[in-house]
Amino acid sequence: MNLNQNLPERPTGLARIAAAFDRAKAEERAALILYYTLGYPAPQLSLEVIAAVAEAGADIIELGVPFSDPLADGPTIQGSTQQALEQGMTVARCLEMTAQLRRNGVKQALVLMGYYNPLLAYGVERYVADAVRAGADGLIIPDLPPEEADRLDAACRAHHMALIYLLSPASPPERVQLAAERTSGFLYLVSLAGVTGARRELPAYLPEFTARAGAAAHTPTAVGFGISTPEQARAVGELADGVIIGSALIDAVRRSPHPVRAAGEFITAIRAGLVG
């Protein structure tokens, strides 16, 4: 697998992520972070959707690495990952597609989001090295707590790659402090106790949670899980440095006979909400 072929020169992963937040801050808005499953609904179409997301104004793109047991994900993302696996997606193919996005001109920060078992089977150090060569800037591993991440953390630091940890509203103060100290790139705040998926309303405790996590953070903070509308994105953007959306984007793609156009229109509407 040649991940280096014709890839453009790039800043380090951490620098690209920091630049995304800096640009958003200069525009007086939160950074817009989108999750999309690689390989859904088919490999080539997923590349086209992600390109449309980039063109429409995403600041950071989380590339979902499909896994058969995505414990943190709700029905929408579970369905997308299952279909992607049926399309033959593997860790190696996800890395190849990441490199293809770079060759196709996608310049946004790219963060691979997936579970630890496939990464471990691939080889921790090998995965990080190949991800960097493919053009990825960071990793999110929802089922890997910071207490158990020393090996992956060391590999990411050696390659100047972000390793982004998650916090839930139920996190005790000591866990908030630990995750805030060890995360790099940004601190991922899960807005609710439960799995991913669009919700009609944001939880009432979100302002207190984001303030508590933000006070401990040395990186930007970003809120995900349950955000689906421009109004919700704007409300969250007033509390945190970044807004993360996944299920609602996949729903927009799934429901439309023109998935690439639907993805672009969805991002355009969310982006307008952030600056409106």
Render each residue's pLDDT in the chain as its tens digit; 276 residues.
Answer: 455 444 445 457 999 999 999 999 999 999 999 999 999 999 999 999 999 999 999 999 999 999 887 676 678 898 999 999 999 999 999 999 999 999 999 999 999 999 999 999 999 999 999 999 999 999 999 999 999 999 999 999 999 999 999 999 999 999 999 999 999 999 999 987 544 444 456 778 899 999 999 999 999 999 998 899 999 999 999 999 999 999 999 999 999 999 999 999 999 999 999 986
CA–CA–CA angle 218, 221, 222 (5° rounding): 160
What CATH code would you report for 13-275? Answer: 3.20.20.70
Q: How far apart are CA 136 and CA 88, in angstroms?
A: 21
62 noted as active-site residue: yes
153 noted as active-site residue: no
Q: With 0-12 CB in 10 A as exposed, 13-18 as middle and 19+ as buried, what is 169?
A: middle
Domain ranges of the chain: 13-275
Q: How far apart are CA 188 and CA 193, in angstroms?
A: 14
pLDDT of residue 201: 65
Per the residue annotation, which of 28, 48, 62, 208 is the catalytic one? 62
Per the residue annotation, which of 28, 59, 73, 208 is the catalytic one? 73
Q: How far apart are CA 13 and CA 71, in angstroms?
A: 27
Q: Would you state the structure tokens that stand for residue 45, as one six-digit string? A: 């179409």
Q: What is the DSSP string of 100-158?
A: HHHHTT--SEEEEE--HHHHHHH-HHHHHHHHHHHT--EEE-TT--GGG-HHHHHHHHH
Q: How far apart are CA 116 and CA 12, in angstroms?
A: 23
